[in-house]
Each structure stands twice: as C-alpha cells, then as structure tokens.
Chain A
C-alpha cells in the first residue's frame, strides 16, 4: 500500500470512529473514484453542527494532528494540520460519504479558479468512462 493509500485508509477509519458527518469532496474524492488526478490536500464537507465540530477535534487527535484552525479571514473553512497531508474542512448542511464525480465537476465549475478549471477535462473524461462502464455491466472497481 502506498503512503497515500495508507493515509486515506487511516483517514476513513478515523472519520468512521469519530462519527463526524462528512463527505470527501474535491480531487481526493475524484481520485478515490478512479480519476487520474493529484492533489495537495483532502477536502471534507462537514454538516455544520456543534456536535460535528466537537467530533472534528476527536478526528484531529486520532490523526495526531493539531485542532482544526481557521484557514484565513476570507473563509469559514478550517484546516487540520499535522496529519500526513492537510485536511480542509468546509461546513454545510450535507452529509453522506463520497461526493459523486458529477458533483465534484459542478463544484469545480462553480469555483472557476485556474486550478479547478485545469482539472475539469480529465474529470469530465473520467465521468464519461465511468458512466459507460456502469451502462455496460459495472466493470468499475468497488
């Protein structure tokens, strides 16, 4: 297992153990679904409740990281620093596991930053291949 796979496996276990209601979004979520992309961090979309904010501290401790801290004054997002890779936390009303590829694409289209638009072509191609495989009998990995 590569260090990257090991980190994501550890993160998923820690997420389950902490009970925080979160979904993995962004390029890490796309990579988990087979998109050939790279990233520098993991983005989590967390349902914004006081309990989940407490659980994020549990998650940080489980990963041997510092408590979540504000990224900047321009955003309500927070970052967990000190794990193998940074984990950025976005707060919203969603929950559920792993953001679908088409939702990841829509969010990157909406964000519109150069680093988002740069990755859109390969994500769109990946989605088309995923849909083609689903239609033809589900050869996609589980």
Chain B
C-alpha cells in the first residue's frame, strides 16, 4: 500500500479520534484486570499516548512563561 499523501496533522480528524478512543477503551478493558491497583485514568492516558500516531499534535514540553510558571 502506498504511503498516505496527506500529512498526519491534516488527516487527523474527529473520526480518527473516535477510533483512537474505541481502541483505547478496548485495550483498557482487556488490561484493567491485570492492573487493578493502577489508577484507571493513568492507564487510559498511557494507552492513549502509546497509540496516538506521531505527528497528530501531542505536546510534552513545558515552557516557562515567567519564573515559577510553566505551561505545556
């Protein structure tokens, strides 16, 4: 199959986000019994970060806007 010609940030849409949510939920339901002590929100967050395609808008750098104040 040829590589997609549309850049990821343009191709990413609500439909893709819905697919991601469904995929996260399916894996969450499968993994949750294995990690009963893990915070459920953390588990979903980890799965979302792992499954979200590169180039679709994830941010992970903190910027200091003034001393003691940081924003993502």
Chain A residues at the B interface, C-beta cutoff of 8 Å: 1-5, 7, 9, 27-28, 31, 33-40, 85, 122, 125-126, 128-130, 132-133, 136, 139-141
Contact = CB atoms under 8 A, between A and B. Distances in A.
Contact of B58 (A4, A122, A133, A136): A4
A65 to B, nearest CB: 15
B29 to A, nearest CB: 13
A35 B52 CA distance: 11
A85 B70 CA distance: 13
B61 to A, nearest CB: 5
Closest 8 pairs between A and B when the two form their complex, measured CB to CB? A34-B50, A31-B60, A1-B55, A36-B45, A2-B57, A34-B49, A36-B49, A4-B59
Given A38-B62, A122-B42, A5 B34 contact: no
A125 B49 contact: no
B58 to A, nearest CB: 6
A138 to B, nearest CB: 11
